[in-house]
Amino acid sequence: MEAASVVAAGGPATAGKTVRDLVSCGACTDQLDLATLPTGNAGFAAVLDAYREQIAVVGEARPKIVLMASRALARVANGPDDYLHVYSTLLQEVDQPVILHWLGTMFDPALAGYWGSDDVAAATGTFLSLIREHADTVDGVKVSLLDATHEVALRAALPEGVRLYTGDDVNYPELIDGDGSHHSDALLGIFAAIYPAASVALQNYDAGKAAEARAILDSTRELGKHIFSAPTFYYKTGIAFMRWLNGTQLGFQMVVGLHSGRSVCHLAKTFELADQAGLLKDPALAAFRKSD
């Protein structure tokens, strides 16, 4: 199950908001063993039951549900109709509007061909057909493809009331700022590293100070590009490194040795860019830990 995240909207302030307005939590199928996953109808039944189990847990805690992309579904699906069957079934069962997540292969190579095609345009057509059919139970979509042009076009094509939560940890400043007609809200991994700056930026948007807000986000862009550089699936190493530098994590160790996923040179550059963006809470502590 994906950890809870703050939903950072570019709209009104948080006063009067509910838990579902402010916090989201992913529901997926990661309790399934891919090595023993059956094929055919039994496989689809297993995927649906796994999603239902996690949806029930998240729903009881009351944050907004994010239907995460599923490795198990990617394993058993043979085309667009299989994705439409599984997601349509779940969207007819949920008791609240949910967020759909499209996660690109740069984050997880096991999700190749998601929505039934390796062709992004074809996959987008399937994705949009699902959303349009179930717009009443789709709060929004989180798109993590690191393609700003694609996101802007998709955002404009969404049904009225369906939000685009950007998952683009490289192009987020202009996507959040918008194009005058639409903007993306934020559900971003990079916010775990730049949250002090992001908080001030969003408060400036709330206060009508868009130029100031955009400038703050722009000041963090190089750090975001670096942390999420290829191989992108090691981005969490940079996030954990930032947390350790800032004193909110006791040690720089990660499960299965993921802290070794980036080189010393990469981490040194992370430190430098964080310092330039003013994101080291205690520079002396950060410098000491970096040199340790």
Using only C-alpha atoms, what is the Rg of the chain? 19
Q: CB count, 10 Å around CB of 240?
A: 21
pLDDT at 154: 98
SS3 146: coil
Tokens matching residue 234: 């090691």
DSSP 3-state assignment of 145? coil
Which of 20, 122, 127, 119 has its CA nearest to residue 69? 127
Q: Token pair for residue 74? A: 């990617």
Cα distance between residue 36 and residue 5, in whole Å: 31
Is 112 exposed, middle or buried (CB count within 10 Å of its CB: 0-12, 13-18, 19+)? exposed
Peptide linkage before 231 cis (omega within 30 of 0): yes
Query: Measured in Å, how far apart are the chain's first and last C-alpha atoms?
Result: 34
Q: Is 64 helix (H, G, I), strand (E, B) or coil?
A: strand
**CA-CA distance, 34 to 31, in Å (whole number)?**
9
Say how far apart CA 275 and CA 283 lie, in whole Å: 8
pLDDT in tens, the chain (292 residues): 554 454 554 444 445 566 567 789 999 999 999 999 999 999 999 999 999 999 999 999 989 999 999 999 999 999 999 999 999 999 999 999 999 999 999 999 999 999 999 999 999 999 999 999 999 999 999 999 999 999 999 999 999 999 999 999 999 999 999 999 999 999 999 999 999 999 999 999 999 999 999 999 999 999 999 999 999 999 999 999 999 999 998 899 999 999 999 999 999 999 999 999 999 999 999 999 988 7
43 neighbors 82 (Cβ within 8 angstroms): no
Total number of residues shown for the chain? 292
- pLDDT of the residue at 83: 98
Q: What is the CA angle 234-237-241, rounded to 5?
A: 160
Residue 191's nearest CA partner among 213, 169, 176 is: 169
Rounded Cα gap, residues 72 and 34, in angstroms: 6
* pLDDT reported for residue 20: 66
How many C-beta neighbours within 10 Å does residue 13 have?
12
Structural domains of the chain, with CATH: 1-188 (3.20.20.70), 193-292 (no CATH)
